[in-house]
Amino acid sequence: MSGSFSSLNTALTALRYTSAALDVASNNIANVNTEGYTRRRVIAESIGAPSVPANWSIYDGVGGGVATNGVQRLSDDLLDARSRAEHGNQSYLDVRSTVLQRVESGIGEPGDSGVTAALGDFRAAWHDLANDPGGTATRQVVMSSAVALTDAIHAQASAIEAEQSTQRSHMNSAVSEVNAVAKQLADANRTIAASRLDGVDVSNLQDQRDKLAQRLAELTGGTATPRADGGLDVSVGGVGLVSGSTAKSLVVSSGINPDGTPDGNPLVLGISDGTTTTPVTGLTGEVGAISDLLTTTLPAYASGLDAVAKGLADTVNALHQSGYDLSGTAGGAFFSYSATGAAASLTLAITDTSKIAAAGTSGGTLDGSIADKLGASGTAESSYQQLVSGFGTEVASVKRRQTTQQLLTTQIDNARQQLSGVNLDEETVNMLSAQRAYEAAARVMTTVDSVLDTLINRTGVTR
């Protein structure tokens, strides 16, 4: 029923609502720099007539005031999903670009200390020997340039192997982080579900949930699906990793030992529930980038370098074995290598400068025809140039993709920030509005109090 007491209650509801609005605005301002915080807004609901009619009376009021219907997080599930996807792609390209640029720097091409320069010095030394086939100094230069060439190739092979070792350790640490984050997300899902049943505000828990899902996306490119109870399920490569309060484990099934050494088998990742392991492929994020580097990119360059070393050794050996050394003896192999790793094992097969076969005929001390042929550029230079050019093209392509992806990721982040981020100017306006509403409600209560005072204490008083 309407009346003075009803007005008093209406003012009270306004005081409660505006007080809640002030608290929310204050909390938003306090968390303006908190990473992962999503701004809140108080949801107001008008209190109207009773929904169930009374038997012996008719409601004649004009409204019962305002009720606080909860606190809303200003987020968009579609934007959040898009952000996770783009951050997964960005993380993949960032890791890949960083590693490839580091490898490119280690290759050192073009430069004075790279394989190309060493090949040039090696060929020049043979040319000098062709002009002075019996000279001790020119023969020693050939030996020295050959050693420098093998050292340059060894340095590249060692750099590639070192990078592979680093990425194997990186993979193990990334997998460990994935499992830790997945467990935290499962715990958050459990807490959110229980808290919602108890009627507790879960906004902070949902912020934590979103941060964990975002990190899983950055690590694996995992896809998150909202649950009816407020949690998030995450699948990696189409295989479930987190389902409600249950978290499975990402494991390295083969390819890498726990200490980071290779086990001699192809790299295989899987999702394990403790008894069964399901292989997963098509990952992005950090784990996907590391996997591609270890299975494709780095082995491909190492294989190409092995092919260059093998081709160089075979070509030089064939010509060297067709010639004769200073004693008139047929030349032997100039280089030696292991078939399982030509670049890393390439070594000089001779140690005596007199054994260098520069002559094309037996007893031809002044004949430098073989040395002249060895001084000509061969297929090794062309193969190496193609290898380095191809790698450089791949690095440039990844850098372009990384830049383009960064623009897209930034655009999505800005869109989320406009919705979910705290704007101090906006919160200040909200706070002042709530303050003025609170003052007005308090004034209403004061007025009603005065009315009631007159009604109670002055009714019937004539003087």
Looking at the fold, whether 254 and 344 belong to one and the same domain comes out as no
Predicted pLDDT at 57 = 64
Mean pLDDT of 152-179: 96
Predicted pLDDT at 143 = 95
Looking at the fold, whether 177 and 262 belong to one and the same domain comes out as yes
Looking at the fold, whether 243 and 278 belong to one and the same domain comes out as yes
Residue 112 resides in a domain: no
Predicted pLDDT at 194 = 94
Provide the domain limits for residue 141. 120-158+301-390
pLDDT of 270 strictly over 70? yes
Residue 365 resides in a domain: yes
Predicted pLDDT at 60 = 60
pLDDT of 124 strictly over 70? yes
The mean-pLDDT minimum among 49-58, 234-243, 301-310, 414-423 falls in: 49-58
What is the per-residue burial (b if ≥16 Cβ within 10 Å, else e) of 219-247?
Answer: bbbbbbeeeeebbbbbbbbebbbbbebeb
- Which pLDDT band holds residue 327 (cuts at 50, 70, 90)? confident
Looking at the fold, whether 188 and 336 belong to one and the same domain comes out as no
Task: Give the helix/strand (H/E) hosting 436.
Answer: helix 424-457
- Which pLDDT band holds residue 43 (cuts at 50, 70, 90)? very high
Residue 223 resides in a domain: yes
Residue 386 resides in a domain: yes
Looking at the fold, whether 57 and 175 belong to one and the same domain comes out as no
Predicted pLDDT at 99 = 97
- Which pLDDT band holds residue 451 (cuts at 50, 70, 90)? confident
Give how far Cα 82 sits from Cα of 88, 204, 228, Å.
10, 21, 20
Residue 284 resides in a domain: yes
Predicted pLDDT at 461 = 66
Domain boundary among 268, 295, 322: 295
Predicted pLDDT at 273 = 93
Query: What are 12-31's pLDDT values in tens digits?
Result: 999 999 999 999 999 999 99
Mean pLDDT of 399-409: 97
Looking at the fold, whether 145 and 281 belong to one and the same domain comes out as no
For tokens 């390439």, name the residue: 346
Looking at the fold, whether 310 and 370 belong to one and the same domain comes out as yes
CA 323, 324, 330, 336: dihedral to nearest 10 degrees?
A: -70
Mean pLDDT of 106-130: 91
Q: What are phi and psi of 91, to 5 degrees?
A: -60, -40
Domain boundary among 240, 273, 295: 295
Residue 412 resides in a domain: no
The helix/strand/coil state of 103 is: helix
Q: How many whole angstroms separate alpha carbon 76 and alpha carbon 93?
A: 26
CB 230 within 8 A of CB 196: yes
pLDDT of 1 strictly over 60? no
- Which pLDDT band holds residue 201 (cuts at 50, 70, 90)? confident
The mean-pLDDT minimum among 37-41, 48-52, 389-393 falls in: 48-52
Domain boundary among 366, 390, 414: 390
Q: What is the 3-state secondary structure (H, E, C) of 64-77?
A: CEEEEEEEEECCCH
CB within 8 A of 38, min separation 6: which ones?
A: 73, 74, 75, 203, 206, 207, 210, 420
Looking at the fold, whether 15 and 95 belong to one and the same domain comes out as no
Mean pLDDT of 177-206: 94
- More reliable by pLDDT, 58 or 155: 155
Mean pLDDT of 133-137: 89
Which tokens go with 27? 């909390």
CB within 8 A of 70, min separation 6: which ones?
A: 42, 43, 201
**Number of structural domains, the chain?**
3
Residues in the chain: 463
Looking at the fold, whether 200 and 221 belong to one and the same domain comes out as yes
Q: What is the 3-state secondary structure (H, E, C) of 338-387?
A: CCCCHHHHCEECCCCHHHCCCECCCCCCCCCHHHHHHHCCCHHHHHHHHH
Query: What are 59-101's pLDDT values in tens digits?
Result: 666 677 898 888 999 999 999 999 999 999 999 999 999 999 9
Q: Is 380 exposed, middle or buried (0-12, 13-18, 19+ CB in 10 A)?
A: buried
Predicted pLDDT at 241 = 97
CB within 8 A of 436, min separation 6: which ones?
A: none
Residue 97 resides in a domain: yes
Looking at the fold, whether 67 and 87 belong to one and the same domain comes out as no
Query: What are 231-249's pLDDT values in tens digits?
Result: 999 999 999 999 999 999 9
- Which pLDDT band holds residue 433 (cuts at 50, 70, 90)? very high
Q: What is the 3-state secondary structure (H, E, C) of 390-413?
A: HHHHHHHHHHHHHHHHHHHHHHHH
Residue 433 resides in a domain: yes
Looking at the fold, whether 178 and 317 belong to one and the same domain comes out as no
Looking at the fold, whether 87 and 234 belong to one and the same domain comes out as yes
